[in-house]
């Protein structure tokens, strides 16, 4: 069994071999999507990323059906590559002799019906563009789009991120549908991107799941779900294993629905994945800055962040004094580290000149402040400052998101929350 330890795991008992034989329909709890009074509730859509091992779909559906109450999705939507689509069609929809003739998908439906589940209007899934959606990339040179056979380059990754965000967003904007998103299949990058998309636009009522299968059934060819028909399956060493002995667990993966924090930004027309991530980062910076009280010393290289004292190197202190002074004077944000070079060097010169003549041993007279800053010096100073904030503990690291980063050289803290101490 996987060693992952998600917050919530839904355990499912192994299926008995007798479950494969037709039997009288058993009383089941009301299917998901219906209230105790019989009034219709939200429908469920299972949205899954898959690759070359589509058995994660049948395993996930089998586990969902054994929850209390059972969850039988109205529709199954798979997000995959062109190679993944071929594997889904071959492994799930073609007759399989290991199952006694039916396809894996038909065998799953038959097993669920024998268990007493009414599949009328549910588990819609087939070899169509509505159910199996292949990720695409737009070619700006030709104006055409092409299907992704795999995700191997940064361009592939960016295209996959935009595609997944669009697909998730299309579901969650419908209040009558609950989303169950499965990250169990496909390349690791697909699961990571799906998790990011759920964090960006998912709702607290949606679910993100991963299915766990014990050894050796997580690698045995031909395993689809514990109550599947057919003979025992053999592993690579030729040893037989009864599918009924398999243990399938559905793990709910916790995620934070940021749409609750940034409803205005996330509620508008869909933008690209990277743009949306940057908008969320900007909101995080602004929210972080509202909770930071910063004292920057002039007489010594030190700061205090929400009461936590942090000693700095002289050049780090110059950078932070420069940034804090610009905020206090209401000066505009600089767009890059390069744009800050001349301004910070002028500031450093004025800082040295401001030392009272009678002062001896002042940090501003040291050799460290005699050399000019260039872009790399500024980057090193900010990086070192972040490390010191992290090591300082307490509330010090709250300052980190407010420091300069790509696309801006500024301190994202309101002026009234900054105090420059003589």
CATH for 31: 3.40.50.10770
Q: Are residues 22 and 133 in the same domain?
A: yes
Q: Decide if 4 contacts 252 (C-beta within 8 A).
A: no
Q: Select from 245, 279, 313 the last residue of a domain.
A: 279
Q: Are residues 237 and 305 in the same domain?
A: no
Q: Are residues 35 and 166 in the same domain?
A: yes
> How many helices (H) and strands (E) would you count in the chain?
10, 15
Instruction: Give me the mean pLDDT over the 383-400 stretch.
Output: 88
> Which of 16-20, 221-225, 323-327, 378-382 bottoms out in mean pLDDT, i.e. has the lowest?
16-20
- What's the structural domain count of the chain? 2
Q: Select from 246, 279, 312 the last residue of a domain.
A: 279
pLDDT confidence tier of residue 275, bands split at 50, 70 and 90:
confident
User: Which residue has 């992704």 as its token pair?
Assistant: 148
Higher pLDDT, residue 178 or 288: 178
- Identify whether 284 is part of a domain: no
CA atoms within 13 A of residue 3's CA, in its CB half-sphere: 0
**Domain coverage including residue 205:** 8-279
Q: Decide if 180 contacts 45 (C-beta within 8 A).
A: yes
Q: Are residues 295 and 190 in the same domain?
A: no
Ramachandran sector of residue 100 (left: φ over 0; alpha: ψ -120 to 50; beta: rest): left
Q: Decide if 296 contacts 420 (C-beta within 8 A).
A: yes
Q: Are residues 65 and 89 in the same domain?
A: yes
- Identify whether 269 is part of a domain: yes
List 355's β-bridge partners, or say none: none
- Identify whether 1 is part of a domain: no
- Kindly report, residue by residue over 126-148, the tens digit of the pLDDT: 877 789 999 998 877 777 888 89
Q: Are residues 274 and 295 in the same domain?
A: no
Here the tokens at position 396 are 């010090």
CA distance 246 to 391: 46
List 50's β-bridge partners, or say none: none
CA distance 75 to 179: 10
Q: Are residues 344 and 258 in the same domain?
A: no
- Kindly report, residue by residue over 221-264, the tens digit of the pLDDT: 999 999 999 989 998 889 999 999 999 999 999 998 887 666 55
Count of all residues that appear for the chain in the document: 422
Residues 175-190 as b or e (16 or more Cβ within 10 Å = b): eebbbbbbbbbbbeeb
364 Cβ contact partners less than 8 Å away, ≥ 6 residues apart: 314, 351, 352, 354, 355
Q: Are residues 120 and 44 in the same domain?
A: yes
CA distance 140 to 132: 25
Q: Select from 248, 279, 310 the last residue of a domain.
A: 279
pTM: 0.63
């Amino acid at each position: 069994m996987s060693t992952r330890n998600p917050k919530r795991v839904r355990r499912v008992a192994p299926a008995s071999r007798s479950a494969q034989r037709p039997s009288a329909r058993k009383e089941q709890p009301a299917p998901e999507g219906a209230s105790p009074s019989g009034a219709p509730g939200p429908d469920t859509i299972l949205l899954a990323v898959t690759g070359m091992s589509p058995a994660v779909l049948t395993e996930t559906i089998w586990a969902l059906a054994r929850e209390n109450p059972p969850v039988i999705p109205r529709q199954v939507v798979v997000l995959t590559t062109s190679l993944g689509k071929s594997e889904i069609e071959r492994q799930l929809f073609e007759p399989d002799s290991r199952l006694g003739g039916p396809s894996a998908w038909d065998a799953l439906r038959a097993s669920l019906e024998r268990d007493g589940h009414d599949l009328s209007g549910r588990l819609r899934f087939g070899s169509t563009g509505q159910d199996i959606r292949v990720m695409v990339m737009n070619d700006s040179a030709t104006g055409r789009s092409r299907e992704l056979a795999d995700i191997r380059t940064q361009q592939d990754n960016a295209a996959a991120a935009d595609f997944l965000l669009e697909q998730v967003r299309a579901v969650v904007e419908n209040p009558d549908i609950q989303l169950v998103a499965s990250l169990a299949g496909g390349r690791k990058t697909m699961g990571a991107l799906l998790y990011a998309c759920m964090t960006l636009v998912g709702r607290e009522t949606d679910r993100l799941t991963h299915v766990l299968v014990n050894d050796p059934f997580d690698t045995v060819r031909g395993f689809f779900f514990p109550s599947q028909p057919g003979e025992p399956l053999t592993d690579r060493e030729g040893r037989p294993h009864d599918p009924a002995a398999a243990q399938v667990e559905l793990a709910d993966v916790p995620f934070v629905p940021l749409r609750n924090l940034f409803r205005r930004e996330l509620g508008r027309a869909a933008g690209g994945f990277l743009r949306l991530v940057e908008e969320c980062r900007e909101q995080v910076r602004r929210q972080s800055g509202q909770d930071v009280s910063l004292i920057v010393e002039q007489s010594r290289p030190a700061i205090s962040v929400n009461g936590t004292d942090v000693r700095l190197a002289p050049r780090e202190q110059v950078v932070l004094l420069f940034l804090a002074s610009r905020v206090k004077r209401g000066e505009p944000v600089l767009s890059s580290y390069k744009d800050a070079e001349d301004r910070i060097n002028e500031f450093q010169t004025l800082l040295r000149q401001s030392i009272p003549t009678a002062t001896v041993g002042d940090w501003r007279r040291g050799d460290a402040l005699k050399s000019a800053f260039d872009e790399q010096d500024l980057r090193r100073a900010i990086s070192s400052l972040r490390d010191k904030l992290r090591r300082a503990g307490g509330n010090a690291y709250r300052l980190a998101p407010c420091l300069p980063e790509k696309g801006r050289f500024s301190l994202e803290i309101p002026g009234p929350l900054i105090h420059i101490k003589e």
